[in-house]
Structure 1
Amino acid sequence: MKTPNTVEDIITRRIDSSDRDVFVRKDFVDIASYTQIGRSLKELVKKGKIVKIGYGLYAKAAFSPLSKRIVPRRGLRELATEALKKLQIEVVASSYDQAYSQGRTTQVPTGRVVGVKGRVSRKIGYEGFTVFYCSRNGSITRSSFNSLCFTHRNSSREIKCFNLASVI
């Protein structure tokens, strides 16, 4: 006798068949109620099929042979970029990316700073590593205890981001 499809099974099949790596809770609203989806996603996180990268944001997971843990399949910057696009926030190149691509520096950008147009108050990260946002409108976009990302207006209006942990 075949077992009936549970909400968790349906969500798992949908995640496995998708080309995307980032999912929001809204992607599964046609399957079940809000609380059922939440419980199923929580169970999938426990089983290691997905990881939670933010409030209502999940990413496909894989086992890392190096760290012997469950980690996201892609890097944090790629996941954040995909998540922001899914949330209809325009992503632009940060000042680090621009300086590197224009040959003004040889330091490769780390990928923890993402340039955005507009205001972003969403925290995206995994295991203590979060993405910081720099906007082009001159405002502080997101800060935490050890890092602050703010704009510095100079002649070319570039975005400058500083890590306070390295200064202190």
Structure 2
Amino acid sequence: MNMVDRIKRSVANRNADVFVRADFKPFGSPAQVSRALADLQREGALVKLGLGVYAKAKRSVLSGKPIPVKPLEVLAPEVLKKLGVEVGASRQTREYNAGGSTQVPAGIVVSVGKQRIQRKLGFNGKLVDYERT
């Protein structure tokens, strides 16, 4: 069994929907893992959300292209938690949920406290914005 098949089976057996490159470290050298992840992207088993960040994929019923199994609004906080960042709801989301505003929050914004995040996360032109408090 080659490395692509081993990683594909590992991804299918995991409950998590997002993965970082470090999750696949036991499978081989960084170059081998990179080639295997690129092959899985071409097959449509994984999609890339950012540098070293991948998500499980499914085929879109509209275009037939691979898309993440869950929306980016759900996957972004999972990725950040996996990277050790405390995540919360944005100010606009908190106001809307508390009934203080009728404006529905647009875009994907997560509160990261006082941490400074430079990592870009996104898919298909839709990026996650970070709100510092």
Normalised by the shorter chain, which TM-score bucket? over 0.9
- Residue 7 of structure 2 corresponds to residue 11 of structure 1: yes
**Structure 1 unaligned runs (5+)?**
137-168
Identity, % of aligned pairs?
43
Distance (Å, rounded) in 2 between the aligned partners of 1:63 and 1:102: 36
Q: Give CA deviations for 1:99-136 in whole Å, capped at 9, x if unaligned.
A: 11110122333351111121111000011110000011
Pairing 1:109–2:105 present: yes
Q: Which has the higher contact order (CA 8 A, sep 6+)?
A: 2
The one of 75, 82, 86 aligned to 1:90: 86
Task: Tell me the distance in 2 between the aligned counterparts of 1:29 and 1:60.
Answer: 18
SS at match of 2:26: coil
Q: Give 1:42's match in structure 2, choosing from 31, 38, 45.
A: 38
Structure whose alpha-carbon radius of gyration is higher: 1
Q: Deviation digits for residues 40-99 of structure 1, max 9, x if unmatched? A: 000000010000000000000001112332111111121110000000000011011111
Find runs of 4+ consecutive structure 1 residues off by over 6 angstroms: none
Counterparts of 1:18 and 1:107 in 2: how far apart (Å)? 38
Aligned residue in 1 for 2:123: 126
Matched positions, count: 132
Give 3-state SS (helix, strand or coil) of 2:63's partner. Answer: coil
Assess if the C-alpha contact under 8 Å between 1:76 and 1:111 holds in 2. Answer: no
Q: Which deviations, in whole Å up to 9, do the C-alpha atoms of 1:6-32 show, x marking residues without a partner?
A: 111110001000110100110010111
TM-score (norm 1): 0.76
Aligned-partner SS, 1:66: coil
Match of 2:59 among 59, 63, 74: 63
- TM-score normalized by the length of structure 2: 0.95
1:20 corresponding residue in structure 2:
16
CA RMSD of aligned residues (A): 1.0
